[in-house]
Amino acid sequence: MKRLLLTIAAGLLRLVYLPIRRRPVQRKVTIISRQSDAPSLDIRLLQEELEKKHPDVECIALCRTIGPGLGGKLSYLFHMITQMKHIAASRVVVLDGYCIAASVLDHKPETKIIQMWHAVAAIKRFGYQTIGREGGHSATVAEVMRMHRNYDYVLCCSQATGKIFCEAFRTAPERLLFMGLPRLDRLTASGKEKLREKFRIPKDKEILLYVPTFRRGQQIPLRDLIEAVDRDRFTLVIRLHPLDQPPEDLGNLPGVIVDTEHSTQRWLRACDRIITDYSALAVEASITGKPLYYYLYDIESYETSVGLNVDPRREMPHATALHADQLKALLDGDYDFEELKRFREKYITVETSGCTAGLGEFIYGIVEEIH
Question: According to the model, what pLDDT value does residue 293 have?
Answer: 98
Rg (CA), the chain: 22
Q: What is the pLDDT of residues 130-146, one digit of tens each?
A: 998 887 788 998 999 99
- Is 9 or 154 the better-scoring residue by pLDDT? 154
Question: According to the model, what pLDDT value does residue 251 have?
Answer: 64
Question: According to the model, what pLDDT value does residue 190 have?
Answer: 65
Question: According to the model, what pLDDT value does residue 3 have?
Answer: 85
Q: What is the pLDDT of residues 232-280, one digit of tens each?
A: 999 999 998 766 676 666 667 889 999 988 889 999 999 999 999 999 9
pTM of model > 0.85: yes
- CA-to-CA dists, residue 164 to 125, 176, 233, 310, angstroms: 8, 11, 39, 10
All domains of the chain in start order, with CATH: 21-185+352-368 (3.40.50.11820), 188-347 (3.40.50.12580)
3-state secondary structure the chain: CHHHHHHHHHHHHHHHHHHHCCCCCCCEEEEEECCCCCCCHHHHHHHHHHHHHCCCCEEEEEECCCCCHHHHHHHHHHHHHHHHHHHHCCCEEEECCCCHHHHHCCCCCCCEEEECCCCCCCCECCHHHHCCCCCCCCHHHHHHCCCCCCCCEEEECCHHHHHHHHHHHCCCHHHEEECCCHHHHHCCCCCHHHHHHHHCCCCCCEEEEECCCCCCCCCCCHHHHHHHCCCCCEEEEECCCCCCCCCHHHHHCCCEEECCCCCHHHHHHHCCEEEECCCCHHHHHHCCCCCEEEECCCHHHHHHHCCECCCHHHHCHHHEECCHHHHHHHHHCCCCHHHHHHHHHHHCCCCCCCHHHHHHHHHHHHHHCCC
Average pLDDT value over all residues in the chain: 93
What's the CA gap between 292 and 335, in Å, rounded? 9
Question: According to the model, what pLDDT value does residue 364 have?
Answer: 97
Distance of CA 40 to the CA centre of its chain: 10
Q: What is the pLDDT of residues 23-50, one digit of tens each?
A: 999 999 999 999 999 999 999 999 999 9
